[in-house]
Structure 1
């Protein structure tokens, strides 16, 4: 049948980015969230991103209008009955995701693939909440979605080969580079990235160097575009902590133990850029 219409669940930074690249690549997209104001904010972000591309001469104005015409707002999950693919980009919480996938399983026709943009949670466990585990797959985009080329595609224990192949082709149609990954906590990206960030937090916690020095060493010595503490602020310290806890619980190795300073900042509400303060302050 092929994928023609996509529902993206979650109109935040990741969801709106996924919706944008899908619409730009010719798919009809329903951007869904719990409240109309969340969806409108997500659509506003997409419009602003496209307008910036037009101003820079990177996107013809007619392509911007065509992309926006393929986007529609949704606050009714029952609209999943009219799509070919659902990409869930809701909060990184297993209870919320399994409840959502159980609902989608009841609503969406049998041919519909259910994908999750989870950055660390087990695909197999999410799939177990449905009666179609063979049609559940991980599709982990990188942030910011319109810029970053990588998509980690994660098979659950039961994911069918034809489902993997269809999602791989779809990712390529979005001008992304799909990489196949097996279903382990943190997959590849966050299994490597988050312990590095956590170690940078330990380095600060133990007084080895200042936050600026730690970031400079990684930028200038390792050619990273952004230091690990700045990157943690941009990701969200609460998200970093959650992924470290997922790695620690799932792999049972103390090397994944979150740094106490990371816990302290999250408890203080210092979540990074989104809260105005993390390792750095943001006006």
Structure 2
């Protein structure tokens, strides 16, 4: 591996919020991307979303000056990831789904290919048992939007090799990201702190202690939280948040991670946050 974008070929599996974020980040730094998902319709929408995010990153000055964006290819076949130097799994936060994708990918790619899970809560070693070469798997928790936030959380599983850590460091440097390495655990660092906070904030609204706006306003104004926990939850996706909280609760038994009724009611109503146009806040239309 190297930090020259011409030496990298990235496959991203999953064309949702984080998959399109990561794809836009890589393309903007000159790294070609194969984006894989289950249907042509999903991929057509994802391609438009990537283009919008790439344009936004350019307008915000978040991409290397003078660098021509690389080419995006979309596919419904995992086989088209075979020539990648790195595969990033960014599918829904369900253990069995991630394990299935990673298992299939690991059988297709050459030995020495870097395998990354963008999981937000599932322990890396839990998924490593499903792949052909567990030492090649590492977690990288990109923040949303990935093309705006420079810091990422790198999760080293017990079986992740030194060579894998070197390869992921090279890739992140190529993408202009800075990674801090943490050891494997449910939720790692960011979401062991953030997700229970969001859940507690939602319960305060549920119990009538304060409105959504007041809860966020207090954490912004008093604690310096950039957007407030509930607006952050809308950006994450409330459906993904509930999945992650369930992972944390099942693996830690911490009652603060049991999704509160208000959060569950929003998800049951299809109000997932910015991506559906409504969550804790009403955005008026579906956000890109």
- Would you say same fold, with TM above 0.5? yes
SS at match of 2:155: strand
Q: Deviations over 1:71-110 (max 9, x none)?
A: 2222221122211110111111111111111111221111
Counting only pairs closer than 5 Å after superposition, residues 217-256 of structure 1 correspond to structure 2 as 217-256=218-257
Ranked by relative contact order (alpha carbons within 8 Å, sequence separation 6 or more), the top structure is 2
C-alpha root-mean-square deviation of aligned residues, in Å?
2.1
Q: CA deviation at 1:255?
A: 3.0
Query: Any conservation in 1 of the 2:234–2:272 contact (CA below 8 Å)?
Result: yes
Q: CA deviation at 1:13?
A: 2.1
Query: Any conservation in 1 of the 2:79–2:108 contact (CA below 8 Å)?
Result: yes
**Aligned-partner Cα distance in 2 for 1:242–1:154:** 19
2:282 counterpart of 1:281 = yes
* TM, length-normalised to structure 1: 0.91
**Aligned-partner Cα distance in 1 for 2:240–2:63:** 33
- With over 3 angstroms needed to count, the CA separation of the structure-2 counterparts of 1:148 and 1:55, relative to structure 1, is closer
Q: CA deviation at 1:158?
A: 0.7
- With over 3 angstroms needed to count, the CA separation of the structure-2 counterparts of 1:61 and 1:47, relative to structure 1, is farther
Q: Deviations over 1:170-204 (max 9, x none)?
A: 11221111010111111111111111111111211
SS at match of 1:67: coil
In structure 2, the residue matched to 1:182 is 183
- With over 3 angstroms needed to count, the CA separation of the structure-2 counterparts of 1:55 and 1:184, relative to structure 1, is closer
What is the total number of aligned residue pairs between the two structures?
280
Query: Any conservation in 2 of the 1:153–1:168 contact (CA below 8 Å)?
Result: no
Counting only pairs closer than 5 Å after superposition, residues 1-283 of structure 1 correspond to structure 2 as 4-52=8-56, 63=67, 66-68=68-70, 70-283=71-284
Q: CA deviation at 1:139?
A: 1.2
Is there any run of 5+ residues in structure 2 with no aligned partner, and where? none
- With over 3 angstroms needed to count, the CA separation of the structure-2 counterparts of 1:272 and 1:27, relative to structure 1, is closer
SS at match of 1:82: coil
Q: Deviations over 1:120-167 (max 9, x none)?
A: 111111110112000011111000011011111111221101111210
Is there any run of 5+ residues in structure 1 with no aligned partner, and where? none
Q: Deviations over 1:198-243 (max 9, x none)?
A: 1111211222112221111111111222122222222222222221
**Aligned-partner Cα distance in 1 for 2:193–2:280:** 21
* TM, length-normalised to structure 2: 0.89
Q: CA deviation at 1:60?
A: 9.1
- With over 3 angstroms needed to count, the CA separation of the structure-2 counterparts of 1:229 and 1:60, relative to structure 1, is closer
Query: Any conservation in 1 of the 2:35–2:73 contact (CA below 8 Å)?
Result: yes
Query: Any conservation in 1 of the 2:28–2:54 contact (CA below 8 Å)?
Result: no
